[in-house]
Amino acid sequence: MNSDLPRRRFLKASALALTAFSYGRVMGANERLRIGIIGCGSRGRDVHMPGVNAHAKTMNLEIVAVSDPHRLAREEAVAKTKEWYGREAKQFVSHRDLLAMPELDAVTVASPDHHHARQLTDIAAAAKDVYIEKPLAMTMDELLKAVDAAKAAKIVVQNGTQLRSMSTFTGCRELYASGVLGKVARIEQCRNGERPYWYGYLKDIKEADVDWKEFQGHRPERPFTPARYSAWYGYRDYTDGPVTNLGCHFLDLVHYITGATCPRSCVCMGGTYTWKDDYGFDCTDQVEAVWEYPEGFLVHYSTNFGNGSGSTFKIFGDAGVLDMVNWSAPVLTAEGGTKNRGSIKGKQSVKEIERPDHFLDWLKCVRERGTPNAPLEAGFQHAVAGLMAVRSMDSGKRTTYDPEKRKIKEG
């Protein structure tokens, strides 16, 4: 069998799709939207698929294809499509074969972090709209290539930072814009836990059920282990740990609420201090990062995976504090506000501002060619901030970002 044939088919289909897509066609309401799922693990199967399917009737859509290196995960995803639509979706090992389907309109991506950038580049080449999990990339070179490709293809990109579509955080954004907090100089989140989240993903996976080479992709060759496949969140080969996973949600909310874009500089330290065992996880169980923003404030993120107490999420102004540690009920107080002149009294609940849920927002934009609530630029911005922190942590040096050259530097 000629191994070049799948790649040739993908490139041919991509060229045809990009030609057709360049007309910027707005889909009619009666045209069925055909969705593909890239990554059928717990995120893809239990979040993306139900999130999309919840709008199957109102948005006239169907999940018609899935791809994943794990056979059992694919089969579970296909079973859901049979239940929902009365017919099985097509299933593929590789996202490239899925993208070669000319009838496909859009895809969601819930694959491991090391695949995101290259898959986004391929998705842009195939001219498919996309809902993609964060972070967008693990290197700056791959980030720039993927983002530039998506811009050139004019595809709709929704980042999976769904917290910015919560009514409470949109309310916080409105409150921040009012200026009631006074001068804001510090924003912080401490997101702690008794153990690292990757332990919750450990499963007994059989090597015979996995296309290990497809999973590994362009990363260093490693022997297969059930832990390395199922709990990839714990290995630096496939992710950069809490600062670019949990931290990305925080950074994206900072940008969403304040209107800031990319940091000016960053310092970060981290290591594995508590959870040392036979699994050989090398993602940090302790991390501290501080970013300086040109808007005139410091942003601090930390994770302690040795003790679950002490979690916080606050914006500090000289007139008061916006406390968002309870995502569903953020509050405004005058606590510590030395320049508060009576504008903040007691504890005030933040007024919620309703928005479409994150998947519906994306689906509407796919049909209407609109800009989603977490657009490509937002993904780029929090990816840059995350990469600055990782590079500082790994090098032991302060990093800076040059927005004109789009480069991260040390020192």
Query: CA 186 to CA 317: how far, in whole Å?
Result: 7
Query: CA 133 to CA 159: how far, in whole Å?
Result: 6
pLDDT digits (tens, 9 = 90+) for 228-260: 999 999 999 999 999 999 999 999 999 999 999
Q: What burial class does residue 212 get, using C-beta atoms within 10 Å of its C-beta: 0-12 exposed, 13-18 middle, 19+ buried?
A: middle
**What per-residue string of b and e applies to 69-84 under the rule 16 or more CB within 10 Å gives b?**
bbbebbebbbebbeeb
Cis peptide before 135 (omega within 30 of 0): yes
Q: Is the pLDDT of residue 347 over 60?
A: yes
pTM of the model: 0.93
Asked if residues 187 and 300 have their Cβ atoms less than 8 Å apart, the reply is yes
Q: Is the pLDDT of residue 23 over 80?
A: no
Query: CA 370 to CA 405: how far, in whole Å?
Result: 28
Cα–Cα nearest to 99, from 77, 123, 75:
123
pLDDT at 28: 63
- Cα 241 from chain centroid (whole Å): 13
Residues 6 or more apart whose CB falls under 8 angstroms from that of 404 comprise none
Q: Is the pLDDT of residue 19 over 90?
A: no
For 6-20, 129-143, 317-331, 367-381, which range has the lowest pLDDT when averaged over its residues? 6-20
pLDDT digits (tens, 9 = 90+) for 106-128: 999 999 999 999 999 999 999 99
Q: Which domains does the chain have, with CATH numbers?
A: 5-163+361-375 (3.40.50.720), 168-353+384-410 (3.30.360.10)
Q: pLDDT grade, residue 27 (50/70/90)?
A: low
